[in-house]
């Protein structure tokens, strides 16, 4: 089995590492587009073009599945890629609004994601379908991916954001960008006793098994 993992930057490595644990015998090929990170502040046409270009090595390697380990690329490019490459299996990543709706008791949820993800049609359909009964806080996290990519995380900024959404009553925090997985432990610590932090690594492995009939 050969799995391809794409992200705009280092966020995809967290997903690739998780897949290596789940599928130790699989060949996992990981590519990124560090030259153009972050994607989250770019227009849709550019995101589609950049994603298409970046996944060419994975297409050339005949990966059984290509995982877009980027919420922004999933939100804005995956439909176009599926149309252009109809025989290629793709798995995308979207903010876990559905899961958050099942977990929240306060009916207040925070979704930490890029502006492009939060403004996308796919995200708004998720909210409409699963989040209509919730109050969803969308804090300004536009600088996070760049900080993490450059290993220049300002933990005061992170702390202020997490404390603010918890103070507003959020009891679930959705990490809607794989870059944020690298600071997940810090976010969990900041929100301990107040909010549960969720991200989609485990669900990707389950989806791979479903698509390849490995369950």
In tens digits, the chain (215 residues) has pLDDT values of 999 999 988 878 888 998 999 999 999 999 999 899 889 889 999 999 999 999 999 999 999 999 999 999 999 999 999 999 999 999 999 999 999 999 999 999 999 999 999 999 999 999 999 999 999 999 999 999 989 988 999 999 999 999 999 999 999 999 999 899 899 999 999 999 899 999 988 889 999 999 988 76
With 0.85 as the threshold, say if the pTM is over it: yes
Q: Greatest CA span in the chain, whole angstroms?
A: 48
Does residue 157 share a domain with residue 67?
Answer: no
Does residue 193 share a domain with residue 104?
Answer: yes
d(CA 200, CA 184): 12
Does residue 205 share a domain with residue 190?
Answer: no
Does residue 102 share a domain with residue 87?
Answer: no
Cα atoms in the Cβ-side hemisphere of radius 13 Å centred on 58: 29
Give me the domain span that covers residue 66.
2-93+201-211
């Amino acid at each position: 089995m050969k799995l391809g993992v794409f992200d705009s930057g280092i966020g995809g490595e967290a997903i690739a590492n998780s897949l290596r644990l789940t599928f130790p015998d699989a060949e996992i090929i990981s590519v990124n587009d560090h030259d153009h990170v972050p994607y989250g502040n770019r227009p849709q046409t550019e995101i589609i073009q950049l994603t298409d270009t970046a996944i060419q090595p994975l297409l050339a390697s005949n990966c059984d599945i290509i995982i877009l380990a980027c919420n922004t690329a999933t939100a804005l490019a995956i439909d176009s890629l599926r149309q252009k490459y109809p025989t290629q299996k793709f798995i995308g990543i979207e903010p876990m609004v559905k899961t958050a709706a099942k977990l929240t008791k306060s009916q207040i949820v925070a979704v930490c994601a890029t502006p492009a993800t939060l403004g996308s049609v796919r995200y708004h359909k998720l909210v409409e379908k699963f989040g209509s009964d919730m109050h969803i806080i969308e804090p300004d996290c536009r600088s996070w991916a760049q900080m993490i990519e450059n290993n220049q995380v300002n933990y005061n900024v992170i702390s202020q954001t997490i404390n603010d959404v918890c103070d507003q009553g959020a009891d679930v925090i959705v990490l809607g960008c794989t870059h944020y997985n690298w600071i997940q432990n810090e976010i969990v610590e900041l929100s301990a006793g107040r909010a549960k932090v969720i991200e989609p690594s485990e669900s990707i492995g389950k989806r791979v098994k479903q698509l390849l009939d490995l369950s």
